[in-house]
Amino acid sequence: MPSTRKTVISVVSLVAAGSLFGAAGAATADAATPTPSGTPTGDGAAALCKRAPKIDRRIDRILTRLRADASQRGSIARLEQRVANAKSAGHTQIETYLNDRLTARRSLVPTLETRQKDLADVEKWCGAHDNGRTN
């Protein structure tokens, strides 16, 4: 019984101390916030222009992997093969799960192609506007 009483006292003490320190921390954090509204002041053009080449390489790498043959992990063809294997083995639940993943993976290709085209326009804009530093 005494150990239960000590546990209760310890928990109550920790909760009380945590609430005191939590309130002090929140007050300090509010004082350190530079803008009360928290809204962005610009569109982040310079940062996007800086990251555009990396984003482009990443999209290329993902599209290459998705379009690869069945020997490439992460490719649509490999997932199609796994669906066919599950179907031939009679594993209907596995087939359903993999088929849903296949549908999602196939939908990535047009989305990434659209992003790639949009990014090409962004890179042209960045070239004409000193990498986002000028209007």
Condensed to tens digits (0 to 9), the pLDDT of residues 30-57 reads 555 555 567 878 889 999 999 999 999 9
Maximum Cα–Cα distance for the chain, whole Å? 77
Q: What is the mean pLDDT of residues 94-104?
A: 97
Q: Give me Rg for the CA atoms of the chain.
A: 27
What rounded mean pLDDT belongs to the chain? 84
pLDDT reported for residue 55? 97
pLDDT reported for residue 15? 61
Residue 79 has pLDDT above 60, yes or no: yes
* Closest among 131, 108, 124, 119 to 55, alpha carbons compared: 119
pLDDT reported for residue 40? 74
Cβ proximity of 75 and 66 under 8 Å:
yes
